[in-house]
Structure 1
Amino acid sequence: MSMINSISTDADEIAARAVNKRYEGLVTVRTKAIKGKGAWYWAHLEPILVKNTETGVPKAVKLKCCLCNAVFSASNPSRTASEHLKRGTCSNFSSMLQPISAIPPMPISNNNNNVSLSPIMNNHRRKRNSSSVIAFPSPPPPMLNHGINTYLVSGDGNNSNCSGQHHLVLSGGREDLGALAMLEDSVKKLKSPKASPRPVLSKDQVDSALDLLANWFYESCGSVSFSSLEHPKFKAFLNQVGLPAVSRKELLGSRLDSKFEEVRIESEARIRDALFFQVACEGWKCSSSSYGTAMDENLVKFTVNLPNGTCVFQKAVFTGGSVPSKYAEDILWEMITGICGSAVQQCVGIVSDKAKALRKLEAQNHWMVNLSCQFQGFLSLIKDFSRELPLFKAVTNNCIKLANYFNSNSEVRNGFHKYQLQVLDHAALLRVPSSKCENLKNFEPVFALIEDIVHCADVLHLVVLDDSYKRVCVDDPVAREVGGMIQDDVFWNELQAVYSLVKLIKEMAEEIESERPLIGQCLSLWQDLRAKVKEWCMKFSIGEGPVEKIVDKRFKKNYHPAWSTALILDPLYLIRDTNGKYLPPFKCLTHEQEKDVDKLITRLVSREEAHIALMELMKWRSEGLDPLYAQAVQVKRQDPVTGKMKVANPQSSRLVWETCLSEFKSLGKVAVRLIFLHATSSGFKCNWSFMRRICPQGHSRMGIDRAQKMIFIAAHAKLGRRDFSNEEEKDAEMLAMTSSEDDTLNEVFAEASSV
């Protein structure tokens, strides 16, 4: 009991000290205010200390109105003054206010002349002549600055309740200049237009605005520097809209942790609610895409594809470059077990741009379907052509020879730039690869050079026809060789052939990346590619044999039996026969691919169900799906964004197996797990260049943790918006679009002025 009493006594003492401290603070503020260094209302409000009647211990601080003796809480003196004094609640305060306009001008006695001036005018005259005396008809009242109106307190006001109040005596000497200057400033404010006040936001509005601002910083994920928070103009902007300054420490601390936890819980709940999922990972191998960044080579991104068509970001791993397959296998398996624990069969497959890491995992886990990324597969085909097709090597060598000569010879280069400015309205060097073509790891640098030469074809022809180039050819055999090559139709035909084929493949790859096809579409994608390549061979008179061989070789490297199986089991690809039945397209498969379907189905089910699944497959092959349901699944609508025809309800294929085809118990288990799998691991793009500075060795674990959290938040937001684009690409397109629009306007104005 004594311990409880001592604790209670300590608490009372602490509270009493806090009350005393509050009271002393208010008294100090009031004392300064009465001397002209604080708010006007302290002349009428007095702090008082309320004590406990029994113990005499201070228990509260109150504010007492000196005019009417009313007592108020001391928590917010400014609000008390506004509500009690300004709004007229205190009748004594209202009665003692008299506008300046009601005060007659005061006569001023001067040695040189006698004039009648307002006491607020001509301070400089009083400074020059300190003997001037200002005579008031009544005792000098103290000045009050009340809102935007300036008043004088009448001489008959009752101010006796306010202790320590000093009457203002205007003698014309040095001591009254400060008060007169304040009064003059108040009158100037009355004459000048009222400045627009800053918006006053409630606490909820401020919190909401700061949350939105923080989310924008997180979702920009390094594109907007956190150091910009300290920029004076940004601080001025926040102040202008009524927001407090934003602390970097807060954004990278409590707010970041809170937002990350919120997003993590939501992501885990979505994965937990799904019956199964597919893991997608990209960044293991160097991307040869022109719009890929160097950061993509070092940052491996993991996402989870769910059966309902949505994606959930999982994590990003900094690898620092190429890694061995065993390391990739370990990372993938750790992530799978981290998501679903011991229920690893919930993960039905992986799609990745590192194929070697997938084979062992699939062999060890019979229920998994591990696929190589089709986007990377198509881009790898370009490298196959550059290494194996002689046409590519010949064009590459010729282009590098031409570019090196034009860039290095000053006289030829000057002529090249002159005609570039005339024809293309800009001048630049040709982009030569930094290493020899046979040592290049990808074809992208060579393709950039080919693009330059194709775009400068007219310029190059004008250069070699110029007299200055002809003079160079007299003594320079290389100039004659390059000039002859530029004037040779064979060179341009081969150059155009290589350019067209690479562009064809890149466009198909870009479409794969944007459309994100499912594995049931893979066979048709490669069939379309073969058809387009065949047309290309005919157009440029290229032998089909070597080209088809390279395509078939790459197809076999990427092929997976799940492609054929998904094509057969997905109701979206059913074909109507002559009898009106909708049957699976077995006739689109080769004999080997039909065997692949049987093998994969038996592998994905238990041994006891294998023969049942094959019997159901035979029934599915002969009966197919009811025409009404098949037509409903295959309904297509025009995409308002791209204008392409797309499936109206992408989830209908899986729903049909779970409802209308429930009789196929074993085959249905395989179907619903296959037909939703994605064929590409490429997802969204982000500018994560700040990871290069944070993640290498030597940086703190806390910094890496913060970067990971920001990536998680940004990726979650982009996937939620289904935004797979790159901010840098958008900015470049917007700038280019603005430039072209300006050029068009200039042309219109030029034509109008000429008319």
Structure 2
Amino acid sequence: MATTATTSTAQTLATIEPNPSSASTDDQTAKAINKRYEGLMTVRSKAIKGKGAWYWVHLEPMLVPNSETGLPKAVKLRCSLCEAMFSASNPSRTASEHLKRGTCPNFSSSVIPKPISSISPSQISSLGSPSGSNHSNHRKRSSGSGGGVSYNANSLELVDPTQFCPEFSYIASPHLRLSGGKEDLGALEMLENNVKKLKSPKAPPCPALSKSQVDSAINLLAEWVYESCGSVSLSSIENPKFKAFLNQVGLPAISLREIAGARLDTKFEQVKNESEAKIKDAMFFQIASDGWKTKGLGSSYGLVGGEKLVNLTVNLPNGSSVFRKAVFTNGPVSSKYAEEVLWETITSICGGVARQCVGIVADKFKAKALRNLENQNHWMVNISCQVQGFTSLIKDFNKELTLFKTVIENCVRVANFFNTKLQVRNSFLKYQLQQHEHEYTELRMFRVPSNDFENIVSMYAMLEDIWDSAHALQLVVLDESYKVVCAEDPVAVEVGEMIRSAEFWHELEAVRSLVKLVKEMVMEIEAERPLIGRCLPLWEDLRRKVKDWCVQFNVPEGPLEKVIEKRFKKNYHPAWSAAFILDPLYLFKDTSGKYLPPFKYLTPEQEKDVDKLITRLVSREEAHIVLMELMKWRSEGLDPTYAQAVQFKRPDPITGKMKVANPQSSRLVWETSLREFKLLGKVAVRLLFLHATLCGFKSNWSFLRWVCTQGNSRVGMDRAQKMIFIAAHAKLERRDFSSEEDKDTELFAMSNGEDDLLNKVFMDASSV
């Protein structure tokens, strides 16, 4: 079967020629255009649901491809009524000029419905103007009791109501005049009742659901609650409005005891059995351990009081991941405890065959625990997450680069001065409002980080605040009122000189640009979740980008290179070099036409690391054999047909970037086409599947707070474990690695108005 698969792969891919990578500028342009297109589609989908402008029903965003590269080169708006194409820069203006002004031959303003409630009383009265309004036209109706009521018969003349609603067709004639008798009151009452029905129509009775439909609906509802993992409060099941909703759609009320009891147990057992079956079928696996870090940089789980949730996930060779368990900790955790938790997790999966676990990837915590487990089990490769390594660079820059210290200190002085000086702040807010016009509904003061600058998020936010307010700040220091403040406060003089200085803004731009460069690489790593063979190219890519940054901002390379090399050595693992050499994805074509491993890109120390690691991963008796196979791999490499098949790339449909067509092909080639490397092949297939980052099931804050309130309740913690397991399993199945807070933040950022969203998308696109 393997031979057939190999032959089929060779026949299919032999005709494939390597597709050269697109130019960097094309990739950036395509990314910007895709981002603009996605923003327009988001706005349109919300509008179609009734939460946006009416004209999006008729305007449809379209991607215009480049005839040469196939990548998108522009975004257009197509009118669905007449097929005309327009620029997507200003949809509101396009709608006004093309639809409202009558340019579109197939559009009529009458298609925009007007509710009855929008018709004013004056409009209604003008539809049937009364005649004979003089008091002489009034006639009295006397009663035996002596009481009398006067009616103005002409003022009650009706217009044909069927022009508003067919339901009013019961009125016999549009020329009907009321006489003022009892029959008139009856007609008025009937009219009033029908208007009330229109204003608050009753929903038609919901058809009765079958028992199977009810059970299916309740199961889906329960699973939604479990998978929300705290975003939906369990107590909301008892909310009267929610119960009324269930009744409205024909479902019975659900008790909290049922949701948190038998249904939870049943669903947990089902998911647990599925996960264990997947792990059992795998030949080997990798443990991913996320959440050891305390609250701070890169932590997703830190809580006030030190509570943390450590998630343990199992990565499988086919590229999938399954959740194993969650461990709750309170306060600092020792390296020994972390080591015990990891080893207990491995043995609980493998039993007595611990070799099935070939490695661990964890966030940067207690590296000693990872080293100890690796030293005790020679076949394991334990590494720290690449996201942590790159993110920690920003902290390194803060601590070791004079440029960063100077910029941050200056920005803190500016921010504190403008935040605390009332007269200056009022002047600043005035100019800020003029600058942003309708872009901001609320103007905030500058965000200032803590004194130790450990909070990278706050530090970067402060830099962005000051950079975005550059124009307003410069206008403030030129204002006459600021000169009055300078006469009384020497700090104002220093801050004013700083703001007027071109050097201050140049340095701020440099620091902001470097932080943004690293953050973008972190976001790319989180999105792509690279394997271990990608580690060396990632750091080399960082060095290249930093050199370009140094040239752009005229900054000496030496100090920055030292910081990067220091962080690289802290995170480096010999497995990086070995996986890079063994991965067919990085083979290069030499002058003879062979595809050979890229040993020439390694340092002498890294070459020695390759030999040491590969011999460590086999038995002592096999060490000399695997080294001979490594020498053969170095001199012969891989057949060009298979090498081209592995390296074949195609554009990503979302980002437009060139990506490997089949990420699993690197490992599959060793299992099928390179069988002559018996020992080296076993090492390669285990190394090449190892993840360099954490997939990370991210719990939300509300759930973690709920977990912490359980205290020592055994029942509560048991339910919490089960809900986490179900939610994590569902997220990993969907490959959804974001938290609900991240999604809500993005949603609210897009809900500030259609124009705000479009402006943001277009500004981001133009800045690329």
- Tell me the TM-score normalized by structure 2: 0.70
Q: Distance in 2 between matches of 1:746 and 1:531?
A: 32
Name the amino acid aligned to 1:276: F
Q: Distance in 2 between matches of 1:683 and 1:700?
A: 27
Aligned to 2:719: 706
Aligned to 2:514: 501
Q: Distance in 2 between matches of 1:547 and 1:745?
A: 37
1:87-124 per-position Cα deviation (integer Å, ceiling 9, x unaligned): xxxxxxxxxxxxxxxxxxxxxxxxxxxxxxxxxxxxxx
Q: Distance in 2 between matches of 1:510 and 1:194?
A: 50
Q: Distance in 2 between matches of 1:744 and 1:445?
A: 24
Q: Is the counterpart of residue 336 in structure 1 residue 346 in structure 2?
A: yes
The counterpart of 1:399, out of the listed 411, 429, 451, is 411
Q: Distance in 1 between matches of 2:202 and 2:583?
A: 72
Aligned to 2:178: none
Q: Aligned in 2, Cα 1:451/1:194: closer, same or farther, shift over 3 Å?
A: closer
Alpha-carbon contact 1:366-1:603 (below 8 Å) kept: yes
1:532 Cα offset (Å): 0.8
Q: Is the counterpart of residue 359 in structure 1 residue 371 in structure 2?
A: yes
1:516-574 per-position Cα deviation (integer Å, ceiling 9, x unaligned): 00010100000010011111111112111111000000001111110110011111111
Q: Distance in 2 between matches of 1:716 and 1:734?
A: 24
1:57-112 per-position Cα deviation (integer Å, ceiling 9, x unaligned): xxxxxxxxxxxxxxxxxxxxxxxxxxxxxxxxxxxxxxxxxxxxxxxxxxxxxxxx
Please give the residue correspondences for 1:720-739 in structure 2 after superposition, counting only pairs within 5 Å.
720-739=733-752
Aligned to 2:330: 320
Q: Aligned in 2, Cα 1:288/1:379: closer, same or farther, shift over 3 Å?
A: farther
Q: Distance in 2 between matches of 1:195 and 1:638?
A: 49
Please give the residue correspondences for 1:185-334 in structure 2 after superposition, counting only pairs within 5 Å.
196-286=204-294, 292=300, 294-295=302-303, 298-334=308-344
The counterpart of 1:514, out of the listed 514, 527, 538, is 527
Name the amino acid aligned to 2:598: P
Please give the residue correspondences for 1:516-665 in structure 2 after superposition, counting only pairs within 5 Å.
516-665=529-678
Alpha-carbon contact 1:638-1:646 (below 8 Å) kept: yes
Aligned to 2:445: 429
Name the amino acid aligned to 1:248: L
1:441 Cα offset (Å): 3.1
1:579 Cα offset (Å): 1.4
The counterpart of 1:388, out of the listed 387, 397, 400, is 400
1:421 Cα offset (Å): 1.6
1:740 Cα offset (Å): 4.7
Aligned to 1:64: none
Alpha-carbon contact 2:750-2:757 (below 8 Å) kept: no
Alpha-carbon contact 1:287-1:297 (below 8 Å) kept: no
Q: What is the root-mean-square deviation in Å for CA atoms of aligned residues?
A: 2.1
Alpha-carbon contact 2:287-2:315 (below 8 Å) kept: yes
1:611 Cα offset (Å): 0.6
Q: Aligned in 2, Cα 1:195/1:729: closer, same or farther, shift over 3 Å?
A: closer
1:686 Cα offset (Å): 3.3
Alpha-carbon contact 1:222-1:689 (below 8 Å) kept: yes
1:732 Cα offset (Å): 2.3
What fraction of aligned residue pairs are identical, expressed as a percent?
69
Larger relative contact order (CA 8 Å, sep ≥ 6): 2
Please give the residue correspondences for 1:429-508 in structure 2 after superposition, counting only pairs within 5 Å.
429-433=445-449, 435-436=450-451, 439-508=452-521
* SS of corresponding position for 2:293: coil
The counterpart of 1:419, out of the listed 418, 421, 431, is 431
Name the amino acid aligned to 1:269: A
1:688-708 per-position Cα deviation (integer Å, ceiling 9, x unaligned): 532233236734111111111
Name the amino acid aligned to 2:378: H
Instruction: Point out where structure 2 has 5 or more consecutive residues left out of the alignment.
Output: 1-200, 761-768
Q: Aligned in 2, Cα 1:742/1:294: closer, same or farther, shift over 3 Å?
A: farther
Look at both structures and tell me which one has the larger radius of gyration over its CA atoms.
1
Q: Aligned in 2, Cα 1:287/1:379: closer, same or farther, shift over 3 Å?
A: farther
* SS of corresponding position for 1:298: strand
Q: Aligned in 2, Cα 1:645/1:322: closer, same or farther, shift over 3 Å?
A: farther
Alpha-carbon contact 1:221-1:688 (below 8 Å) kept: no
1:293 Cα offset (Å): 5.7
* SS of corresponding position for 1:334: helix
Alpha-carbon contact 1:277-1:347 (below 8 Å) kept: yes
1:233-280 per-position Cα deviation (integer Å, ceiling 9, x unaligned): 211111011100011111110001110110000001101110000011
1:448 Cα offset (Å): 1.6
Alpha-carbon contact 2:291-2:301 (below 8 Å) kept: no
Name the amino acid aligned to 1:524: P
1:587-638 per-position Cα deviation (integer Å, ceiling 9, x unaligned): 1111111111100010000011111100111111111111111111222222
Alpha-carbon contact 1:687-1:727 (below 8 Å) kept: yes
Alpha-carbon contact 1:288-1:379 (below 8 Å) kept: no
Aligned to 1:127: none
Alpha-carbon contact 1:320-1:696 (below 8 Å) kept: no
Count of residues in correspondence between the two structures:
552
1:731 Cα offset (Å): 2.4
The counterpart of 2:390, out of the listed 378, 381, 385, is 378
Alpha-carbon contact 2:596-2:636 (below 8 Å) kept: yes
Q: Aligned in 2, Cα 1:699/1:692: closer, same or farther, shift over 3 Å?
A: farther
Please give the residue correspondences for 1:650-689 in structure 2 after superposition, counting only pairs within 5 Å.
650-689=663-702
Alpha-carbon contact 2:386-2:693 (below 8 Å) kept: yes
1:291 Cα offset (Å): 9.0
* SS of corresponding position for 1:371: strand
Name the amino acid aligned to 1:283: G
Q: Distance in 2 between matches of 1:695 and 1:360?
A: 31
* SS of corresponding position for 2:325: strand
* SS of corresponding position for 2:751: helix
* SS of corresponding position for 1:689: helix
Q: Aligned in 2, Cα 1:290/1:333: closer, same or farther, shift over 3 Å?
A: closer
Q: Distance in 1 between matches of 2:728 and 2:715?
A: 20
Q: Distance in 1 between matches of 2:540 and 2:749?
A: 35
- Tell me the TM-score normalized by structure 1: 0.71
Q: Distance in 2 between matches of 1:539 and 1:636?
A: 31
Q: Distance in 1 between matches of 2:528 and 2:697?
A: 12
Name the amino acid aligned to 1:229: I
Q: Distance in 2 between matches of 1:551 and 1:636?
A: 30
Q: Distance in 2 between matches of 1:661 and 1:567?
A: 17
Q: Aligned in 2, Cα 1:732/1:669: closer, same or farther, shift over 3 Å?
A: same
* SS of corresponding position for 1:301: strand
* SS of corresponding position for 1:739: coil
* SS of corresponding position for 1:319: strand
* SS of corresponding position for 1:370: strand
Alpha-carbon contact 1:637-1:646 (below 8 Å) kept: yes
